Structure 1
Amino acid sequence: MNENRNMILAMVLSALVLFGWSMLSDRFFPTAAPQTQKVEDGKVTPAATPPAAGTAAPQALRNRAQVIAETPRVRFQTPALSGSINLKGARIDDLVLLKHRMTFDPNSSPVPLLNPQGTRAASFVGFGWTGNSIATPGPDTVWQASAPALTPGKPVTLSWMNPTGQTFEIILSIDDLYLFNVAQRVVNRSSNAVTLTPYGFASRAGRSMNISSWTIHVGPISVRNDKADYDVDWSSIRDAGPNGLNFAPATGWIGFTDLYWLTALAPKSQMTGSFVHSANGAYQANFSGRPQTVAPGQIGSFETRVFSGAKEIAALDRYQDAGIPLLSKAVDWGWFEWFMIPIHALLEWLFRQIGNFGVAIICLTLIVRLLLFPVAQKQFASMGAMRKVQPKLKALQERYKDDKPRLQQEMMKLYKEEKINPAAGCLPILLQIPIFYALYKVLLVSVEMRHQPFALWIKDLSAPDPLTPLNLFGYLNFTPPAVIAIGILPLLLGVTMWMQFKLNPAQPDPVQQQIFSIMPWVMMFVMAPFAAGLMVYWITNNILSIGQQWWLYRKYGLHLSDTHPATT
């Protein structure tokens, strides 16, 4: 009767872990990036790219190339970017990331980050001036360009003159990566002074496909007076009403971040920022500078840097060092940033030496194991001693099975006599947790890990394992739900965890022992939706632990069949 009760209790607790985790993980611990590969007829192919969320109705949208061709433009080309500036409204609304692809297939299309209004996932950046007494350029203004193309080292000036003698200019320059410099000028050739306020905006048609969570911020983002603001989200902008969320004048930057991409406006002087949400579902990040009074014959100016590109750590650090405050905060590392950045740097260094991120993860695991080897030695020595006293513990359990307080006293007395610390085995696990979490965050937020292959069917280490026996590895035209789509790597994880359990000393409490026996298979389901790279790390760590345990048990003269109740 007691055995049945214990088994039922163990199963109930395991089910709570499994289903409770499923409900909480999306909020607190989001899993891997969307699957970028699928298996058809046993072959791994790129998965279809999901449509962007929050755009206008499909019938209102048009082909991107068609919309771009409808207006006069200035082309730009760098090693990292390609696109054009719309002379109607002076908008940067055509920007493609040349170094990043839509899927893991190197021949797939590059990622379009900015798109003109009227297209799917419209997103663009614009600049202008406001003034009460004079005509200022607007969204329908057609600017004149000083050159047909913008390239690094060769700026382009856009200009427009109003009827009252003010000439507006936007001098655009671009570097070799992801940064535009935008110098707004107004030349007052009239006989009267004018007062104008410079502004800029980043607009997008809807929310990001990526989901913001407790561990990773996606959506509206800003840095003001040397402090990153992750508290503003899509819902808080909507709830703010038509006037939006407004911030006091500050230095910093404002924009929108996706999981891997960022578009940010960083004025070189103090700005007043705001986020607004329109009735058609669009979101906009705005800034304005201080009003400027421009006397006759004088020039008013305002300068802004625009980052629009991938959140590569080296690029963010480069621009932060060049004067954009805390741009590295665009990557939400969380509270343990001090620990995660070195893990990321080590992993990237290993990748540069080896050329394969999967092998780099294995090497990282080996390094971690070597660093923790002295602690692991103490752990396994304690485990070996625990296995030796299993018969004595079993005798105590039989003798005091009806007197739990006395049983605990006698067990602690036995541990003291044998010089055993039953908690010693927890220390390596506790030390591994921050490393495991750091790798989890690196795989989740690092664009450097996006679409990185390992070997065989693993074409994207930042996505879940696509190969599952539930559809005969792709030979059946059936895509299992994520909660049961157990890939090969999660299966290996469950098996290696079970092997570790077999090598560990039996738990004194039968309920605990049964829970631990079920836990490997529960964790197999829990971890299935996570990144394949995380599975590679955990499986490698398990295999190394198993090897180390076998070696130490032989050193202490122990065998699996000696004391483990599961094998008797």
Structure 2
Amino acid sequence: MDDKRNVIIAMLLTALILFGWPYIAETLFPNAAKPAAQQQQQQAGQPSAPGAPTAQAPAAIRPRATALADSPRIAIETPKLRGSIALKGARIDDITLPTYRETVEKNSAPITLFSPGGTKEAYFAGFGWSGDGLTAPDGNTLWQASGTKLTPSTPVTLSWNNGRGQLFEIALSVDNDYMITAAQKVSNTGAGTVGVRPYGFISRADKPVDPDTWTIHIGPMGVFNGAADYDVDYKDLDKGEIPAPIASTGGWIGFTDKYWLAALVPDQQSRFDGQFRKGAGSGYQADYSLTPTLLAPGKAVTHTSRLFVGAKEVKTLEAYQDAGVPLFDRAIDWGWFYWFEKPIFALLHWLFTVIGNFGVAIICLTFIVRALMFPIAQKQFSSMAAMRALQPKMKELQERHKDDKPKLQQELMDLYRKEKVNPFSGCLPIFLQIPIFFALYKVLMLTIEMRHQPFVLWIRDLSAPDPLHVLNLFGLLDFNPPAFLAIGVLAIILGITMWLQFKLNPAPMDEMQKQIFAIMPWMMMFIMAPFAAGLLIYWITSNLLTIAQQKWLYSRHPQLKQAIAK
């Protein structure tokens, strides 16, 4: 039982935490029971947003420019948004993000988030009404606008008279970030009372390119009754597993992509019913509806809701959360280590703002983490060195009691007590590294602040895998190897540094363990190659610091080497 076995134990614990925790949590912390209102809706099959258009894929794909020309439009112009609103149907269906690009190339086009219905990547939002005795506007209604451009300083009001005594208005305003506010007003000048039920919807024609994984939720999500809900996936909707409407007071509903978010935020003081739907083909929809109101003649009613459409910037989401949107930062799927990942992100982002290079910031973060863990690591290395010095005695006991395993274990424990060596002391530093490593993985994979950040030379995007592959002769051959064979320069350096680190550790007595640890660095080279380059830089730096710390320990305690030599 030597220190190598501790590494195996730590690796098993890592796998247990990362892969087993979701199942353990589901057992120990089951989802809360549905509110009574929600249960009643499920039993009755009540729809969430009566009158809202059902999401569906277009029958024939139109060019985006053709679809944009299909309706008169109101331009949108803010520091972070560009686009327009279609007066036909009052749809917000043209949104681009000028501060973000599709690729790292300088001439790359800006991110297009919303596109009109009928286009290849149709994705749009809107607000409307349904109700008894009410002739409400629909997707073909042509609205009148009070202005020609929606900016943070120039709001626009859309209006439509149904000719039957009701005037509909949507007063739109936008801030300097990504939030559009819509005040929906109905004025009843008719002779009779009408029922009015406001709703909002987000419709998209297909799934995003980024896949939904067990560590990163991409797809339908929302916050209902004070809890973030990641339970609904696109694959659930594809299988016809349509969730029941969710009754909530406060919260929001929408679609989260890896870096982008479209979310409806109803009036936080009003009860709403939210639902995710599957339309014809590959269409999907998230919508909400408010409680119906009886509107008497001569009366008017206004409901104010908001639409977020933009990038999931951590500070921006936190600002909206502080302003009253509950748990808005959970649009980023931080996961179970949320409490630890946010400080890691804050420290890394601060280092980046000071240094100006994200790769260097990751290296500095590694130094800080290792400095904080220095006393614990020193104890670990001292124990490992002591274990290394005991190797001859342990080998002798192994030969003497090779046919009596219980006796061998007893003799080894006596030897550890006599020499004051703890064979398990090496586990703690490795175990403490697990949440740090996983937190950095989530930060690099999820936060848009890391997207397209360069390091040096060929590393132009630290959130993407190393693009310089061995199998295509570092780009000289015109082909991209499959992910499991895409061994880059950083992966090779990782394997070498891990091999050097293992060489300084005590050699295991068991031959099987020797073989395992002989190939482990090269296995990890293949396993880690598809991961973000920034993650490999962290691990390489950590390995180099570990090697330096071990060398320093031996230089300060030459008797350890002398004991090994004897």
How much has 1:413 moved relative to structure 2?
Answer: 1.0
Match of 1:423 in 2: 424
Match of 1:180 in 2: 180
Under a length normalisation based on structure 2, what TM-score does the superposition of the two structures give? 0.88
Match of 1:532 in 2: 533
How much has 1:188 moved relative to structure 2?
Answer: 1.2
3-state DSSP of counterpart to 2:281: coil
Match of 1:452 in 2: 453
In structure 2, distance between residues paired with 1:546 and 1:151: 56
Match of 1:246 in 2: 245
How much has 1:358 moved relative to structure 2?
Answer: 0.5
How many residue pairs match? The answer is 519
How much has 1:391 moved relative to structure 2?
Answer: 1.4
Q: 1:342-390 CA distances to partner (integer Å, 9 max, x unpaired)?
A: 0000000000000111100000000001000000111111111112111
In structure 2, distance between residues paired with 1:244 and 1:407: 59
Match of 1:38 in 2: none
Please identify, of 391-400 and 71-80, the stretch whose mean Cα deviation from structure 2 is larger.
391-400
How much has 1:512 moved relative to structure 2?
Answer: 1.3
In structure 2, distance between residues paired with 1:229 and 1:558: 58
How much has 1:70 moved relative to structure 2?
Answer: 2.2
Q: Do structure 1's residue 332 and structure 2's residue 330 form an aligned pair?
A: no
In structure 2, distance between residues paired with 1:60 and 1:517: 58
Give identity over the alignment, percent: 56
In structure 1, distance between residues paired with 2:275 and 2:483: 39
Match of 2:522 in 1: 521
3-state DSSP of counterpart to 1:271: strand
Match of 1:221 in 2: 221
How much has 1:284 moved relative to structure 2?
Answer: 0.4
Q: 1:483-504 CA distances to partner (integer Å, 9 max, x unpaired)?
A: 0110000100000000001000
Q: 1:407-459 CA distances to partner (integer Å, 9 max, x unpaired)?
A: 11111111111111111111111111110010011011111111111111001
User: Is the contact between residue 386 and residue 560 of structure 2 (CA under 8 Å) also seen in structure 1?
Assistant: no
In structure 1, distance between residues paired with 2:189 and 2:106: 53
* Matched letter for residue 230 of structure 1: Y
3-state DSSP of counterpart to 1:350: helix
Distance of aligned partners of 1:559 and 1:492 in 2 relative to their CA distance in 1, 3 Å threshold = farther
3-state DSSP of counterpart to 2:120: coil
Under a length normalisation based on structure 1, what TM-score does the superposition of the two structures give? 0.88
In structure 2, distance between residues paired with 1:76 and 1:447: 23
User: Is the contact between residue 97 and residue 112 of structure 1 (CA under 8 Å) also seen in structure 2?
Assistant: yes
Match of 1:74 in 2: 74
Q: 1:150-198 CA distances to partner (integer Å, 9 max, x unpaired)?
A: 0002210000001112110000000000000000001112222221111
3-state DSSP of counterpart to 1:196: strand
Which structure is richer in relative contact order (CA contacts within 8 A, separation 6 or more)?
A: 1
How much has 1:134 moved relative to structure 2?
Answer: 2.9
3-state DSSP of counterpart to 1:99: strand
Equivalence map 1:29-428=2 (5 Å): 60-240=60-240, 245-268=244-267, 269-428=270-429
In structure 2, distance between residues paired with 1:483 and 1:415: 42
* Matched letter for residue 414 of structure 1: L
User: Is the contact between residue 389 and residue 560 of structure 2 (CA under 8 Å) also seen in structure 1?
Assistant: no
3-state DSSP of counterpart to 2:363: helix
In structure 1, distance between residues paired with 2:559 and 2:469: 37
* Matched letter for residue 291 of structure 1: P
* Matched letter for residue 370 of structure 2: R
* Matched letter for residue 139 of structure 1: G
User: Is the contact between residue 384 and residue 556 of structure 1 (CA under 8 Å) also seen in structure 2?
Assistant: no
Match of 1:507 in 2: 508
User: Is the contact between residue 223 and residue 326 of structure 2 (CA under 8 Å) also seen in structure 1?
Assistant: yes
3-state DSSP of counterpart to 2:168: strand
- Flag structure 1 segments of 5+ consecutive residues without an equivalent: 1-12, 29-53
Q: 1:66-103 CA distances to partner (integer Å, 9 max, x unpaired)?
A: 21122100001111110101111001100011111101
Match of 2:38 in 1: none
* Matched letter for residue 255 of structure 2: F
What is the alpha-carbon root mean square deviation over aligned residues? Answer: 2.4
In structure 2, distance between residues paired with 1:558 and 1:439: 38
User: Is the contact between residue 219 and residue 233 of structure 1 (CA under 8 Å) also seen in structure 2?
Assistant: yes
Distance of aligned partners of 1:121 and 1:153 in 2 relative to their CA distance in 1, 3 Å threshold = same
How much has 1:511 moved relative to structure 2?
Answer: 1.3
In structure 2, distance between residues paired with 1:319 and 1:65: 33
3-state DSSP of counterpart to 1:492: helix
Distance of aligned partners of 1:494 and 1:295 in 2 relative to their CA distance in 1, 3 Å threshold = same
Q: 1:304-339 CA distances to partner (integer Å, 9 max, x unpaired)?
A: 011111111101111111111111111111111111
Q: 1:33-89 CA distances to partner (integer Å, 9 max, x unpaired)?
A: xxxxxxxxxxxxxxxxxxxxx9958x9222212211221000011111101011110
How much has 1:562 moved relative to structure 2?
Answer: 7.9
3-state DSSP of counterpart to 1:526: helix
- Flag structure 2 segments of 5+ consecutive residues without an equivalent: 1-7, 24-54
In structure 1, distance between residues paired with 2:305 and 2:86: 18
How much has 1:250 moved relative to structure 2?
Answer: 3.3
In structure 1, distance between residues paired with 2:126 and 2:144: 16
User: Is the contact between residue 252 and residue 264 of structure 2 (CA under 8 Å) also seen in structure 1?
Assistant: yes
